[in-house]
Amino acid sequence: MSDPQHPIDPEAPAQAVPPAFTPPEETRPRWADPPADPPTPPRWLEPDPLDRPAASAPNGGRGGMLGPLFAVALIAAVMASSGTYLVLDASGALDRVTPAPGGTTAQPASTTTIRIDEDSAITRAAAIVSPAVVTITTREGSGIGVDPLDLPATGVGSGILFDASGWILTNRHVVAGAQTFTVKLKDGREFSGRTYGIDTLTDLAIVKIDGEDLPVAPIGDSTALKAGQLAIAIGSPLGSFENSVTAGVVSALGREITVTDEQTGQPRRLRNLIQTDAAINQGNSGGALVDALGQVIGVNTAVAGSAQGIGFAIPIEVAKPIMRQAVAGEPLSRPYLGIVYTAVTPTLMRQAKLPIDYGAWISSSDGRAAVVAGAPAAKAGLKDGDIVTAIGGQRIDAGHSLEDILVRYRPGEEVALSVLRDGATLELKVTLGTRPADLQ
């Protein structure tokens, strides 16, 4: 993509549980609203922004950021030395999400009322999804070396069975670097797992096991989430407490965190995350965040280390494209434009004297080319200083960022770009590329 998302109505009848995940035809997900604008907008390198250094927690803040900085950690449990535990820094409270005001609905003269309280909703949702939440135990190295104490590193995370053929969605940091791993189901069965593919965009991976009569978790719709609705986290915290269930609410949408991989030392930004106060602990990585209907709405990924009740999950809509690719036997891939840009806001418009207060302004301040040579954007004729105002007719604004729109498309697909250049609007066609696997 570019360099540099239900509550129960007590009066409504109970809804049927949807069937197992089946790849729909060309479903294009919508995205949650991105964070509110910081005073100094960041420039993004498509599709994974790394223009800013990872936030550091010691001083509790950094100039130009809204809200406090707090340490968070990816939540794969470490079972032995030299494990794959990753430390992150996060910039929190960058946005405020207000639940949509509830309306009143006239009741018919004769009604049948079915009451679903929170406790029964949690119990029902857990019963639906828990059988399909697996425990993944990984091993790095053989443990055979000169030092007899040089034991193989063992880590534990979680995963979600989303297809009866044995397809599992998990976090990249759960399986990255693992030479072998075991997948254990709630019913006690164990399988050898293999990594099918690693997502090049965010902290996701697809794992495959071979088995029969496998349970499948119903897949929900994270685009309809509202702050304040019920959220249920299911996973294997601390590697020992398999299929634990905790409940809370969706605290906010569209959060951003900066993560630092202790194995590589490289920072990454995870965007458009769901924030929840459902208890998430080490070992929950890759587990399910579930709504009151027993549908998966997110993948548990990170937790704040310096605060309680602040966890993060990747929305299921972000994962759906690679889930479809895996089931179809295709390699995991994401679209790519090849630009460095800044999201235009009213503040940036005033500061940079831009003609409009929305869009993606192609620009770079660190000496890099704003349009990557040979990339799809360059071939389409995009230039430094252009403002991309729409993709495929969808306007780029606070509720629809460039990358959130772009992820709806596939590599190789041709899309129309609306571009503002020197006061004139241009319509350009671009054939999207495939995001490089080593793009940081």
Q: How many CA atoms lie within 13 A of 219 on its CB side?
A: 23
Tokens 């241009």, located at residue: 426
Among 285, 364, 401, 418, which one carries the catalytic annotation? 285
DSSP 132: G
To the query of whether residue 163 is one of the catalytic residues in this protein, the response is no
Check if the beta carbon of residue 303 is closer than 8 Å to that of residue 281: yes
Contact in structure between 190 and 182 (CB atoms under 8 Å): yes
Residue 353: both structure tokens together = 């004297």
Catalytic residue among 130, 173, 236, 261: 173
DSSP string, 170-231: E-HHHHTT-SEEEEE-TTS-EEEEEEEEE-SSSS-EEEE---SS---PPB--GGG--TTSEE
Strand 335-336 relative to strand 311-315, pairing: unpaired
Cα–Cα distance measured from residue 140 to residue 78, given in angstroms and rounded to the nearest whole number: 12
The DSSP letter of residue 339 is B
203, 221, 277, 291: the active-site residue: 203
Q: Does 285 participate in catalysis according to the annotation?
A: yes
Mark whether 203 is an active-site residue. Answer: yes
Q: Counting Cβ atoms within 10 Å, is residue 59 exposed (0-12), middle (13-18) or buried (19+)?
A: exposed
- Which class for 14: exposed (0-12), middle (13-18), buried (19 or more C-beta within 10 A)? exposed
User: Which residues participate in catalysis according to the annotation?
Assistant: 173, 203, 285
